[in-house]
Structure 1
Amino acid sequence: MPIDVEAVRSQTRGVLNVTHLNNAGSSLPPGPVVDTVVGHLRREEEIGGYEAAEEAAGRLEGVYSSVARLIGAEPNEIALAESGSRAWAMAVYSFPFVPRTRLLIGRTEYAGNVIALRQLARRNELQIVVLDDDRHGQVDVEHLQRELDRGNVAMVALAHVPMSNGLVNPAAEVGRRCRAAGVMFVLDACQSVGQMPLDVQALGCDVLAGTGRKFLRGPRGTAFLYVRAPVLERLEPAMLDGHSAVPAGTGGLEVRHDARRFESWEGSAAGRLGLGRAVDYALALGLDAVQERIAGLAEQLRTEVAAVPAVTVHDVGITRCGIVTFSVKGHDARNIRARLADHRINVSVVPRPSAPGGSIPAGREGEDLVVRASVHYYNTGTEVRRLVGFLWGMSSGT
């Protein structure tokens, strides 16, 4: 069933204030999510934090079931975290690396993940191999296969949707080949969860990390981690506390047998309830309908932006999503963002996508930046045309 755009906009207070095209950064949350978070904070104010959490224990437990349903997992395979990066790192840092094995990563891997992998490589004498892009700009699965055939691979890490070029990597094909080779597959789904259907069984991943604030429209400071049940016992978290483990015997300990071994005892009950409400909101709309709406708006934006003189669209890939990246000749991306903000149009800036055969940048200093506009189902064609009209004005010098 198509999304009732007017209904979801009526539940999105922010659309009255801004044209929000920065959903890949942080979406405008719907009213029911905000009300859930604020409502729990009010209960903490009224009766105390521990007491409010105890009162909401059943709802907090239900968040694990909601997230599991969202991605086709089991509740015992889900942990909650404060950020997608931290969720991803908790699993990856727990992997028992063998020295002088290899890590295979996509060229569009998130920069924060690359930093973590470089630290792990230095600690464990690992070699990082950057997989080529294919002619469409997505990860080259044939290069992946050649590297898997060479052997000595500890892990494959991939960003499902890169932050800066609009494509959707063929994660299911990567997962199939990793599973056949018996190699751990870690998928960063922070930019894909909430804007398209995800099924961890079809994706073939052993680990998946997702965040709440982006296309899920949840609160900032919320995220989740999926770890496939047969893999859990292989991954002992680098840090444990009284929530993730208990003392056992004389000087021993017993680590939890579910994915909550990756959690710590303290967390935001209000944020977690808000995350659960955001997941339920997305499920009620239907992720197929969400993806169709987002993809349609994004293609409209790409087509109309590309028609503006001096504008170059940088998106690649066979399958594209709600992220649209572009540059305007003679205009700095940061300046474009600032001028758009003056007109209450929200976008962001990101590093220019690397060309096939290029290399992952070492850092942000001096990087060539492009504008990133990212649509959601609550956006409208009128909002898209508002951005495009501004770019036409820039192109004509007005």
Structure 2
Amino acid sequence: MKALHTKALARTLLATVTGGLLLSGLASAQAPTKLVVWLTGDPTAATIMKTATDLYTKAHPNVTFDLQAIPWGDSHTKILTAAAARQGPDIITGGLSWGIELGNLGGMVNLTKQYPALDKLVKAEAIPGLLASVVTTDNQLYAAPFNLTVQLQFSRPDLLKAAGINGNPQTWEQLTSAIDKLQAKGKKGFMIQWGNLDWIGYFPYLYQAGGSLYDKGCTKATVNSAAGVKALTFYRDFYTKYKLPTDNSPDLGGGLDNGNYPLGTSYNTFNFDITYPKMKGKWAISPLPAGPTGKRTSFLGGTVIGIMAYSKNADAAADFLKTLYTAKVSDALVSNARKQGLYFIPPVAEFSKALGLPADQSKALIAQLKEGAGPPNCKGWEASNADMVKALQSVILNKVDPKKALDQVAAAMDANLKK
């Protein structure tokens, strides 16, 4: 996701927002209302959302929807342009940081101030680790979590047992011991698919070690703490000692299937029985192994949904957003996504039961969702991503001292906080 902050846009929005947010009353039965929704993603995003909008229109016949899928590569710029021109969709979905960024520029409705009932609902129901990524440092909500992606541990229990490993690794020590035993049996052992050689791959180990990217108030970077160094040393050793693949996104499914990689981490994937039929019933998922703190933190990604500040149909839009946090609508979204061969994971942990996963997988997913955490809500984090990746790769590929690399990236993060 690209950074949204531009001084020019801020000046444009501040100049135009002089009379407060332009909101209108919720459409009455006599007043037809059309809500234009821009959904960041491929066309299936609109197909899936249609389930929710059809249910809303059935209950509110005067409200209809125009659903438009906007590719990730174009959506960011188009939404910025709409915000500056104060013309475009009523509702948008986008990256987790977009709500805060657009909200700070005056481009999105402040749900906390304008719709306190919706704000209360979202804050009560959304997964805490995800919610923390989408509220501002003073707890203002501009866009609600819509769906998510989560890191999980994948394994081949049969191959672990054959290597003398009793179940999935539960701690860092058990993980490295398992890799040693697998490699002694001629296997390559373990891989990281989502976030390989990237900050997303490092993220869970940082938090499992008791570290963080910033302090709670977003006043300074803390990634160069003792916990951060410990986590990076552990992460580095995956590549230097255990020779993990360094591809951008290695094929975990293939590695599990051919047996070379009986262990790995990646985003939520539950269709290996279909894509690798010979592996049917032989693979498992579990939460990530716990770090020194006992935490099993994994990275949560996803999208948010919010209302553009200029919308004349904001009340109707807010009323619709409430329905996304009901079991009925959430279950319908999950079901429709499954028909498209996809998995829609809702932002309320208990709603993920509607995915219809086997009991052991459902239990593991819910457990991991409750211990997940999203990216920081701090100013300048998006601009710091490249610096973080550069620091991590310098340690892994060029043997730079972990503390030195993290000190350098912390300085860059602090500088971006002040911009």
Structure-2-length-normalised TM-score: 0.28
Structure number having the greater helix percentage? 2
